[in-house]
Amino acid sequence: MIINLSLSDTNKRSNQEDEEEDISYLKERIRYLTQMKISLERDLEYYRQEMTKLLEPPYIEAMLLEVLNDGRAIVKSSTGPNLVVKISNNIDNTKLRPGISVALNNKGSTIVEVLPNIYDPFVEAMEIEDNPGFTFKDVGGLQNQIREIYEVVGLPIVKPELFKSLGIDPPKGVLLYGPPGTGKTLLARSLAGEVKATFIRVVASQFVNKFIGEGARIVREVFKLAREKKPTIIFIDELDAIGSRRIEMGTSGDREVQRTMLQLLAEIDGFDPLDSVKIIAATNRIDLLDPALLRPGRFDRIIEVPLPDKGARLEILKIHTKNMKLKDVNLDYIAQITEGLSGAELKAITTEAGFFAIREKADYVYQDHFIKAVEKVKKRLEEKKQILGIHI
């Protein structure tokens, strides 16, 4: 009996232990499965979001051409045409500059995002100004150049009927040549301002140094954009970088430069002289240019933009000091002592004179500030010439 009792006791205890073990096991399972559930729910949410993203129609990438006054904008869509689109309210309007990349909603009707600065050689290679705020009043001297450039480029834009009725083909392109900083860019930009044309500036040397392999495409795109935004003045700076005479075509870089120039010639040859797209090119080295560029119907008008004479220097100084507070300054004398300096250097003198006045905490800019500024700019120029090995 005693033995029986003890056996049943042992059985009871072992059953109880088993049950406890089972309970503990099941509790452990529940904890594990609850965690699994949480983790799977998290995964599910992630895949749900991914699926929504994948099912969402794509945005359309476009380049901003112009912001209109009524809260809309003109863009050039990556699929081709120019579109007039709305601007979503959450867009910071100060970020909207011509040439930037934007995302349009899937209907292509609204700018919904300003895209980060993605590398697009076409956008980077050119500066575009819809309405350059310059006029001929900003140009000192250069009266003859202003008259000539207005006649051959400006008039055909504002009065094409004059040329049509007389049966005259105006030049398609004008070449400006002269030392650096003499106002070639300024002249072209202010002409665009005078005739209310879009101003597109490209720097030809960048095709060779920066946008290798893209030169011909950029030229094509620039002309396409110019036609879309006409009247347009295309300004090609440093033309010699792609338009130099070449004796041999050794490297692939040379061939690339050649391709870019051929594309440029094809574009110039391809458009109508009465079309309101005009090209102004500039160079410091006309002696290097390929004669092919100077054939009739291409850059057949050549205008020299020389260093300013004394009268022109005075005009340039007056232009760049018109908003400065001057006292007892004899600009005529400053013009006298700055022979050989360019417009850009004269502008630098006015800025430097201002800095001298600021450093001295003066209320006005005095003659002495100008004298010191002239010395400084001349010294800087001298150093530059030494470095470049140019002797005067």
Ligand X SMILES: Nc1ncnc2c1ncn2[C@@H]1O[C@H](COP(=O)(O)OP(=O)(O)OP(=O)(O)O)[C@@H](O)[C@H]1O
- By beta-carbon proximity to ligand X, the closer residue of 170 and 183 is 183
- Return the CA Rg of the chain: 35
Does 286 bind ligand X (CB under 6 A)? Our answer is: no
Site for ligand X in 89-108 (CB under 6 A): none
Burial letters 353-364, b for 16+ CB under 10 A, else e: bbebbeeeeeee
Number of residues binding to ligand X, judged by CB under 6 A:
19
Burial letters 122-149, b for 16+ CB under 10 A, else e: bbebbebbeebebebebbbbbeebbeeb
| Rounded Cα–Cα distance for residues 348 and 189 (Å) | 20
Q: Is 80 annotated as a binding residue?
A: no
* Nearest approach, Cβ of residue 65 and ligand X (Å): 25
Does 205 bind ligand X (CB under 6 A)? Our answer is: no
- By beta-carbon proximity to ligand X, the closer residue of 73 and 204 is 204
Q: Where are the alpha helices (DSSP H) in the chain?
A: 2-55, 121-125, 143-149, 155-158, 160-166, 184-194, 204-209, 215-228, 240-243, 252-270, 310-321, 331-336, 343-359, 367-388
Q: Is 224 annotated as a binding residue?
A: no
* Nearest approach, Cβ of residue 297 and ligand X (Å): 25
Does 185 bind ligand X (CB under 6 A)? Our answer is: yes
Instruction: Mark the segment that binds ligand X (CB under 6 A) among 46-54, 69-77, 140-148, 371-379.
Output: 140-148
Phi then psi for residue 246, to 5 deg, are -125, 130
DSSP string, 113-166: EEPP----HHHHHEEEESS----GGG--S-HHHHHHHIIIIIHHHH-HHHHHHH
- By beta-carbon proximity to ligand X, the closer residue of 35 and 135 is 135
- What is the maximum alpha-carbon separation in the chain? 139
* Nearest approach, Cβ of residue 138 and ligand X (Å): 6
Site for ligand X in 293-352 (CB under 6 A): 316, 319, 343-344, 347
Helix (H) or strand (E) holding 101: strand 101-104
* Nearest approach, Cβ of residue 377 and ligand X (Å): 12
User: In the structure encoding, which two tokens stand for residue 171, read together?
Assistant: 């030049």
Does 156 bind ligand X (CB under 6 A)? Our answer is: no
Q: Is 391 annotated as a binding residue?
A: no
- By beta-carbon proximity to ligand X, the closer residue of 141 and 193 is 141
Q: Is 318 annotated as a binding residue?
A: no
- By beta-carbon proximity to ligand X, the closer residue of 100 and 241 is 241
- By beta-carbon proximity to ligand X, the closer residue of 111 and 241 is 241
Does residue 243 contact residue 279 with C-beta atoms inside 8 Å?
no
* Nearest approach, Cβ of residue 267 and ligand X (Å): 22
Does residue 243 contact residue 287 with C-beta atoms inside 8 Å?
no
- By beta-carbon proximity to ligand X, the closer residue of 134 and 211 is 134
Does 125 bind ligand X (CB under 6 A)? Our answer is: no
Does 181 bind ligand X (CB under 6 A)? Our answer is: yes
Does 180 bind ligand X (CB under 6 A)? Our answer is: yes
Question: What are the angstrom distances between the C-alpha of 151 and each of 4, 189, 204, 212, 269?
Answer: 129, 15, 26, 36, 21
* Nearest approach, Cβ of residue 140 and ligand X (Å): 4
User: In the structure encoding, which two tokens stand for residue 258, read together?
Assistant: 């050649």
- By beta-carbon proximity to ligand X, the closer residue of 142 and 225 is 142
Give the x/- contact pattern for ligand X in 207-246, rule: CB under 6 A: ------------------------------x---------
Rounded-to-10 torsion of CA 8, 11, 17, 18: -140
Interface residue with ligand X among 128, 186, 222, 268 (CB under 6 A) is: 186
3-state secondary structure of 265: helix
Interface residue with ligand X among 62, 67, 87, 139 (CB under 6 A) is: 139
Q: What residues line the site for ligand X (CB under 6 A)?
A: 139-142, 180-186, 237, 282, 284, 316, 319, 343-344, 347
Annotated binding residues for ATP, written as ranges, equal 181-186, 320
